[in-house]
Amino acid sequence: MRINKYLSSCGIDSRRKCEALVIDGRVKVNGKTITELATDIGDNDIVEVDGNVVGISRRKTYIMLNKPKGCVCTVKDDKGRKTVLDFIKTDRRLFPVGRLDYDTEGLLLITDDGELANKIAHPKSGVKKTYTVRVEGEPSAAELKRLRGGITYNGVKYSGAEVAVIGVENNSTRLSITVTEGKNHEIKNMIESLGRRVLFLKRVAVGELRLGGLSRGEWRYLSEREVTYLKSL
Ligand code: URA
């Protein structure tokens, strides 16, 4: 929908007067001032007039970030470290869904929908989270069986995981591991329980949502279809 039509259907003013707002530089789309009347507004765009989010875009925001290493999954960090929200320029009060460790990268959902966030992050939700994991050495068939059967390590019980070997290279093995619990340091602890170290850890999928071609530090809005899918879980 064209920006002037969008603004007037939000009840801001007549289409003509809304055009003037755009030309005067008072309208932002996704945090950027736009002056082009040909701008089209989609379902996930966030539109502001004079700094206030308007109309339809008061709906919740759903974002997928490819979290790089070296940042924390909190809104603010006491130690002044970079947070995942530093990648997303918005005035919205967003927060990450669950956590990835400082040195873990990959798919992170970010939203202002607390209900959905709790549902997905809760260990009992059963939502599958898939990781690509590079581990030290070459785990034996017996070790892989332990990962698949479930493990207790340092008094914490980890349910059985889906495990597939992707390949072996330079005295390390790349595994695909899918878990459903989302406990703290889940993958690292499971691998450590075998007496091995995780060398690289990246989340590549949450349920059916995949990271796809997003580069490190890049983010995008979820599609309506993806949001509907998450809500159906
Ligand atoms: N498991 C871990 O050990 N760390 C993460 O960041 C995610 C899963």
Cα 41 to ligand 1 centre (Å): 37
Residues 200 and 93 in one domain: no
Residues 228 and 113 in one domain: yes
Residues 47 and 158 in one domain: no
CA 183/CA 201 separation, integer angstroms: 15
Residues 189 and 120 in one domain: no
Nearest CA to ligand 1 atom 2: 185
Cα 229 to ligand 1 centre (Å): 24
Please report, for the domain that includes residue 24, its CATH number: 3.10.290.10
CA 35/CA 44 separation, integer angstroms: 19
Residues 88 and 101 in one domain: yes
Q: Is 62 helix (H, G, I), strand (E, B) or coil?
A: strand
For residue 101, indicate whether it is catalytic: yes
Instruction: Compute, in degrees rounded to 10, the torsion defined by CA atoms 196, 197, 202, 204.
Output: 0
CA 46/CA 155 separation, integer angstroms: 46
Residues 120 and 80 in one domain: yes
- Which residues have CB under 6 Å of ligand 1? 100-101, 104, 185-188, 201
Please list the pLDDT of the chain residue by residue as tens digits (233 residues). 899 988 887 778 788 889 999 999 999 999 999 999 999 988 778 899 999 888 754 578 899 999 999 999 998 888 999 999 999 987 778 999 999 999 999 999 999 888 889 888 887 888 999 999 999 999 999 999 999 999 999 999 999 999 999 999 989 999 999 999 988 999 999 999 999 999 999 999 999 999 999 999 999 999 989 999 998 98
Residues 75 and 7 in one domain: no
pLDDT of the residue at 58: 57
pLDDT of the residue at 56: 58
Please report, for the domain that includes residue 174, its CATH number: 3.30.70.1560
Task: Measure CA 148 to chain center.
Answer: 26
Domain encompassing residue 36: 3-54
Cα 90 to ligand 1 centre (Å): 27
pLDDT of the residue at 22: 96
> pTM for this one?
0.76
- For residue 206, the cross-strand partners are 129, 209
Active-site annotation holder among 101, 103, 112, 113 = 101
Q: Are 22 and 35 in contact (CB under 8 A)?
A: yes
Residues 196 and 224 in one domain: no
Any alpha helices (H) in 33-139, and if so which ranges? Answer: 114-121
The closest alpha carbon to 55, from 8, 1, 23, 14, belongs to: 8
Residues 119 and 133 in one domain: no
Which of 71, 73, 131 has most ligand 1 atoms within 8 Å of its beta carbon, as the pocket-test mutant? 131
* Number of other CB atoms surrounding residue 143 within 10 Å: 18
Number of domains in the chain: 3
The closest alpha carbon to 202, from 193, 192, 215, 221, belongs to: 215
Cα 47 to ligand 1 centre (Å): 35
Residues 140 and 196 in one domain: yes
